[in-house]
Amino acid sequence: MVAGAFMIALLVMVMANILGRIFGFYLRGADAYAGYCMAGASFFALAYALCHGDHIRVTLLLHHLKPAARRAAELWCLGAASFLSGVFAFYSVKMVWWSYTYHDISQANDATPLWIPELAMAIGTTVLFAAFVEEFVHVARGGKPSFESAAAQTQHTE
């Protein structure tokens, strides 16, 4: 829902720019805010997409493995994804902290404190990290990966 709200805000910013050009007014910082909204929509949607099997996965190799090897490969991939998303989340939070500490502001003409739009990325990557860890634990306990469950549910509803 948060990602959807950012998408609506992005639409509002783009429409404001278009209307400004048509009617001759300038909405200061609208293009920068549109970029912030796009980033917010992207990062807040990552964990949801993972949990519903919507991330792009290359399963060509996995389908040809025996069940034990396939499970090991899944765990390795989820472990690597958990580690990498954890590193990304750590540095995203660190970037927000440094922007806040040093009072970094946008170089656009809106002069927004950068920690505010960066917060969407930090929260989104942290939630993605939590989702990967949850998926790793779920598969390690013997459960099916969420992309398989989502695919089975989609086929069942069709």
Q: What is the 3-state secondary structure (H, E, C) of the chain?
A: CHHHHHHHHHHHHHHHHHHHHHHCCCCCCHHHHHHHHHHHHHHHHHHHHHHCCCCCCCCCCHHHCCHHHHHHHHHHHHHHHHHHHHHHHHHHHHHHHHHHHCCCECCCCCCCECHHHHHHHHHHHHHHHHHHHHHHHHHHCCCCCHHHHHHHHHHHHC
Domain, as residue range, for 29: 2-157
pTM for this entry = 0.80
pLDDT in tens, the chain (158 residues): 899 999 999 999 999 989 998 998 888 778 888 888 898 899 889 888 888 877 777 677 778 889 899 999 999 999 999 999 999 999 999 999 999 999 999 887 778 898 988 898 899 999 999 999 999 999 999 888 887 765 556 554 55
> How many domains are contained in the chain?
1
